[in-house]
Structure 1
Amino acid sequence: MTATTDTVGGTHGSASRAETFRALHHDRAPSAPLVLPGPWDAVSARAFAAAGFPALATPSAGISAALGYPDSGGTPPEEMFAAIGRIVRSVSVPVSADVEDGYGLPPRELVERLLEAGAVGCNLEDSGPADHQLADPRWHADWLAEVRAAAGGALFLNARVDTFLRGVPDAGAAIERGRLYREAGADCVYPILAPPELLPELAAGIGGPLNAIAVPGGPSPRELGELGATRVTFGGGLQRRIAEEIQGLARELRDG
């Protein structure tokens, strides 16, 4: 791939919003990582914003479940972008969007769709949601560079590293990919499901902001920050938790 410098037009306002979001990732104390709840609809987005969170990050899994589709590429792109747009319009805080592997869209079109939805950033993963195969890291870095070139400063790029998710437990492999993605223009690297004890090594080896996922029974966001995470997200975990509560309420109503 050859990166282009042709940025999507009309992005000055978007760049300003993205810079506001980007600034939230810097100069943070280890005990105070940026915690980004993952809304799956307008109601959940408003609840998180009302609680005082400075920004939000949509999860593809949570939105897919809310729309009735399986995760891992099951949601049609037009429905995902429409859902992201509804979430963005429902709150005044910046919203970043998980768009999986970009749905096969050319970089320029992907950027246009994200900006049309009002997102200030995106998650882009380096394995296919359908075949679960890790992409060649240099190919993926070149693709990220094209996305960066098309977006300019108008989007915060969070590059997800799927080595741990796909059964490659070696921290070195994640660091190699993370460095390539940073060099390609990624603002943050997200080694999803990295064991917490590896976060210090990953943070030191990759450099720059590091995203960690908080899971039930695992370290708290504060503890993840102290281990090296700059920001903490939850994947589809929050939506699943609410779904379980609704199931419990449904049983109570049924058994009256």
Structure 2
Amino acid sequence: MTEAPSALSAKAATLARLHSAPEILQVVNVWDVISAKTIADIPGTTALATASHSIAASLGYEDGENIPVEEMIAAVGRIASATDLPVSADLESGYGDPGDTVRRAIGVGIVGANIEDQMRPLADAVAQMDAVIAAGRAEGIDFVLNARTDAFVKAGDRDPAEVLADAVERGKAYLAVGATNVFVPGLLDEHAVTTLVQAFGPQRLSVINVPGSLAPSRLQELGVARISYGPWTQRVALTALANSARELLADGQLPEGTLPLN
């Protein structure tokens, strides 16, 4: 283990408090050491969260558990070692063994994680969330599980009311086995957010903000615990890189105000 159990336990407790505070927790997702250090140095950053899509892309893999688990653990471990802030890792669906994957992640300094249900049968999904909580307990920390349901991500053309009901049912089941929060990615409107907060309780819903999402201030008013940004932060960086390259190749110059952040 990279840190003493007491230090990891303290970081896990800090991360849990950040989720339960009335002030919404915003995590600007990172994918490597330099992005982690850059975001950690921004005033107002209280925790870091990795984006599995971004880590996979940076290492040449397609999203969706195509990256070997060893590479993902190594990547999130380097990020955790580069900061004193608590780090939550996006560990997809656990790479075939969520309990063992989380045990390994704790071993490199991770104190929280997203775990996807991928809309498996509910009993199977609950079992995988329960295994994550048990792994944290076995390692001596109250692991901060941001249990993800893919009800909206995999909704297709289903009735939106049925999709929302699925998210509620699954989220309640994950909270019942010890999840800290329920992560419901998707472009959620105010009705969906309000329904989910009422079902789970205040500061129990975690969302992703994408173009068109509700503003962070409104999500805080509605009782949301956490906002993340997934692969969009890497896309922002790559868009800036692409735009700069176009300018340079057209006889331009580097953008004014560029900082030596690396």
TM-score for both structures, normalised by structure 2: 0.86
Counterpart residue number, 1:212:
207
* 1: CA distance, partners of 2:247 / 2:164: 46
Counterpart residue number, 1:103:
95
Cα drift, residue 66 of structure 1: 1.4
* 2: CA distance, partners of 1:212 / 1:121: 16
Contact 2:93 2:117 in 1 (8 A): yes
Counterpart residue number, 2:254:
none
RMSD of equivalent CA atoms: 1.6
Cα drift, residue 194 of structure 1: 5.0
Aligned equivalent of 1:59, options 51, 54, 63: 51
Counterpart residue number, 2:152:
164
**1:19 partnered with 2:13:** yes
Alignment of 1:77-226 (within 5 A): 77-105=69-97, 107=99, 109-127=100-118, 134-152=119-137, 153-167=141-155, 168=158, 169=160, 170-197=163-190, 198-207=192-201, 209-226=204-221
Cα drift, residue 177 of structure 1: 0.2
Structure 2: which 5+ residue stretches go unaligned?
Answer: 252-262
* 2: CA distance, partners of 1:92 / 1:15: 13
CA offsets, 1:167-208, max 9 Å, x none?
Answer: 153211100000000011111001111513210110111235
* 2: CA distance, partners of 1:104 / 1:157: 17
* 1: CA distance, partners of 2:35 / 2:98: 31
Counterpart residue number, 2:248:
253
* 2: CA distance, partners of 1:112 / 1:26: 24
CA offsets, 1:19-52, max 9 Å, x none?
Answer: 1111111231xxx311111011111111111112
Question: What is the aligned-residue identity percentage?
Answer: 37
* 1: CA distance, partners of 2:217 / 2:70: 36
Aligned equivalent of 2:29, options 30, 38, 41: 38
Provide runs of 4+ in structure 1 moved above 4 Å: none
Q: Which has the higher contact order (CA 8 A, sep 6+)?
A: 1
Counterpart residue number, 2:232:
237
Assess, with a 3 A threshold, how the Cα gap between structure 1 residues 144 and 248 changes in structure 2: closer, same or farther. same
Bigger Rg, which one? 2
* 2: CA distance, partners of 1:27 / 1:248: 38
Cα drift, residue 216 of structure 1: 2.0
TM-score for both structures, normalised by structure 1: 0.88
Cα drift, residue 159 of structure 1: 0.2
Paired residues, what number?
237
